[in-house]
Amino acid sequence: MSVFVALAGCDNDDAAPPAREGTYRVNVTNLTGNQPLSPLGAVIHFAGYTGWEIGSAASSGLERLAEGGDPADFLAETSGNADVLSTGSGSGIIGPGASDNVSLTTRQSPNLRLTCATMLVNTNDAFTGIAGLSIGDLAVGESKTIYAHPYDAGTEENTETASTIPGPAGGGEGFNAQRLDRDFVSAHSGVVTSDDGLATSALDESHRFLSPVAKIVVTRTQ
């Protein structure tokens, strides 16, 4: 019996240790003057996942986020992707000068990357965020800071009319499944506004924005 117990103890000693986990806090600060940001959608992943790419067509989930501000489909379309490890969304609208946090926990790996996105809601389909930022090298307590540029999803024409802008400047429909623009992601050139001669625009000078439009700080907290 004593021999059996000793052998059993050896088997337990050889068992693989549990995978280490890491927790990452994504803090987003709105740097614009009058462009509320929609709730953030955040994804921790490996290199095999791409949330968006300059020059490529936006996914249907990114289209919904960039036109209507809802990150649910952007996150849901990661389901079943073996390269996606963790997803999460923000708590609400981020007003000018305000911040919000999303915390994500996943198994630790030096190959972790972060993608996140949020809409500038007083636009047709402008969004900002980061795509594929390497975060696997962060030690506990360390951070990376990114000043994020505005992007055009290329899924809706930038008419700036009230009926097509979901934010408080327009109160319009937001997402529309019909794609009426060039259908690829690009840098956003900004808004024209009624103050600069676009008579049908629901926007005024206060809604203009320059790059960067958001400060994103990623901190490993555990």
* Number of structural domains in the chain: 1
| The 3-state secondary structure of the chain, one letter per residue | CHHHHHHHHHHHHCCCCCCCEEEEEEEEEECCCCCCECCCEEEEECCCCCCCCCCCCCCHHHHHHHHHCCCHHHHHCCCCCCCEEEEEECCCCECCCCEEEEEEEEECCCCCEEEEEEEECCCCCEEEEEEEEECCCCCCCCEEEEEECEEECCCCCCCCCHHHCCCCCCCCCCCCCCCCCCCCCEECCCCCCHHHCCCCCCCCHHHCCCCCCEEEEEEECC
Give first-to-last CA distance, the chain, whole Å: 43
- What pLDDT does 14 receive? 57
Phi, psi of 16 (to 5 degrees): -65, 135
Phi, psi of 58 (to 5 degrees): -70, 145
Residue 1 lies in a domain: no
- What pLDDT does 173 receive? 85
Residue 79 lies in a domain: yes
| The 3-state secondary structure of 66-96, one letter per residue | HHHCCCHHHHHCCCCCCCEEEEEECCCCECC
Residue 7 lies in a domain: no
Q: How far apart are CA 77 and CA 88, in angstroms?
A: 13
Q: What CATH number is given to the structural domain containing 154?
A: 2.60.40.2130
Residue 165 lies in a domain: yes
Structural domain for 167, as ranges? 18-220
Residue 39 lies in a domain: yes
- What pLDDT does 9 receive? 44
Residue 72 lies in a domain: yes
145: tokens are: 């800071």
Q: How far apart are CA 62 and CA 57, in angstroms?
A: 10
Cα radius of gyration (the chain): 21
- What pLDDT does 108 receive? 96
- What pLDDT does 188 receive? 98
- What pLDDT does 175 receive? 81
* Amino acid at residue number 48: G
73: tokens are: 């489909």
72: tokens are: 């649910």
pLDDT average per 10 residues of sequence, the chain (222 residues) = 39 61 98 98 98 97 97 98 98 98 98 99 98 98 99 96 95 81 93 93 97 99 96
By the 8 A CB rule, do 50 and 43 touch? no
Residue 8 lies in a domain: no
Residue 132 lies in a domain: yes
